[in-house]
């Protein structure tokens, strides 16, 4: 018997396996976490006499937005590949997703380096304080996603042979998390870079 019931098959009352329900509850808490920071942003923005506009690198952030959007497609394609029972295609798409996550972090590193070089640090003012907190927390989520997806990429072979449905569920859960990371960036991009 599994340590966690309904890990693979749906639980009768929710109609969902417990892993998927757990991921959604986790994402609900994440909405509140980022929501609190967005709320802080609004408070600081409406109370500020001066706010930086156009000081962040819009072209780089646009490329990063495209990278995350593309990675959302590749992770859902990885899941769809498993439904088609094409394991090699699944690994290719999941590999692309991890690669795009690294591209995102690389560009963020370039952006941060540029800001630090100009002595723009979190303590500079409220704008850079909230910019580094929001993008830093988001970056930590990207790193978390990379760890989970890299683990799944490396360890999925055995699971696919023995318990394929469990692997499908895990990729679905990881994918939901990754889409959420993309969704947060979709709002961070205009709020921090364009407005």
Q: Give the nearer residue to other proteins in terms of CB position, either 119 or 182.
A: 182
Q: Give the nearer residue to other proteins in terms of CB position, either 111 or 116.
A: 111
Closest separation in Å from C-beta 64 to other proteins: 10
Q: For residue 76, give Cα distances in angstroms to 20, 44, 84, 169, 191.
A: 15, 37, 13, 12, 26
Q: Sort 188 into a burial class: Cβ within 10 Å, 0-12 / 13-18 / 19+.
A: buried
Give CA–CA dist 23/182, Å, rounded.
Answer: 16
Closest separation in Å from C-beta 52 to other proteins: 14
Q: Give the nearer residue to other proteins in terms of CB position, either 121 or 188.
A: 188
- The two tokens of residue 189 are 């991009």
Residues 6+ away with beta carbon under 8 Å from 121 = 115, 128, 132
Nearest to residue 78, comparing CAs of 95, 67, 96, 90? 90
Task: Please give the residue ranges that form the binding site for other proteins (CB under 8 A).
Answer: 13-16, 21, 24-25, 28, 31-32, 35-36, 38-40, 42-43, 46-47, 58, 62, 65-66, 69-70, 72-73, 76-77, 80, 82-85, 162-165, 167-168, 175-176, 179-180, 182-183, 186-187, 189-191, 193-195
Closest separation in Å from C-beta 192 to other proteins: 11
Helix or strand or coil: residue 33? helix
8-state DSSP, 55: -
Q: Sort 1 into a burial class: Cβ within 10 Å, 0-12 / 13-18 / 19+.
A: exposed
Closest separation in Å from C-beta 46 to other proteins: 6
Helix or strand or coil: residue 118? coil
Q: Give the nearer residue to other proteins in terms of CB position, either 53 or 116.
A: 53
Closest separation in Å from C-beta 166 to other proteins: 9
- The two tokens of residue 79 are 């899941």
Q: Give the nearer residue to other proteins in terms of CB position, either 140 or 186.
A: 186
Q: Give the nearer residue to other proteins in terms of CB position, either 62 or 121.
A: 62
Closest separation in Å from C-beta 119 to other proteins: 26
């Amino acid at each position: 018997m599994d340590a966690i019931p309904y890990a693979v098959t749906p639980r009768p009352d929710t109609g969902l396996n417990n892993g998927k329900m757990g991921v959604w509850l986790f994402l609900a808490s994440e909405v509140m976490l980022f929501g609190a920071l967005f709320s802080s942003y609004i408070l600081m923005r409406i109370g500020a006499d001066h706010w930086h506009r156009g000081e962040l690198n819009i072209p780089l952030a646009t490329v990063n937005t495209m990278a995350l959007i593309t990675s959302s497609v590749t992770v859902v394609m990885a899941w769809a590949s498993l439904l088609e029972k094409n394991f090699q295609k699944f690994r290719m798409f999941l590999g692309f997703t991890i690669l795009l996550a690294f591209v995102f972090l690389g560009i963020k590193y370039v952006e941060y380096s540029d800001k630090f070089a100009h002595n723009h640090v979190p303590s500079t003012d409220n704008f850079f304080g909230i910019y580094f907190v929001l993008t830093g927390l988001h970056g930590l989520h990207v790193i978390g996603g990379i760890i989970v997806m890299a683990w799944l990429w490396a360890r999925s072979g055995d699971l696919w042979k023995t318990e394929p449905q469990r692997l499908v569920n895990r990729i679905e859960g990881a994918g939901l998390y990754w889409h959420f990371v993309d969704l947060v960036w979709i709002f961070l991009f205009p709020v921090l870079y364009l407005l």
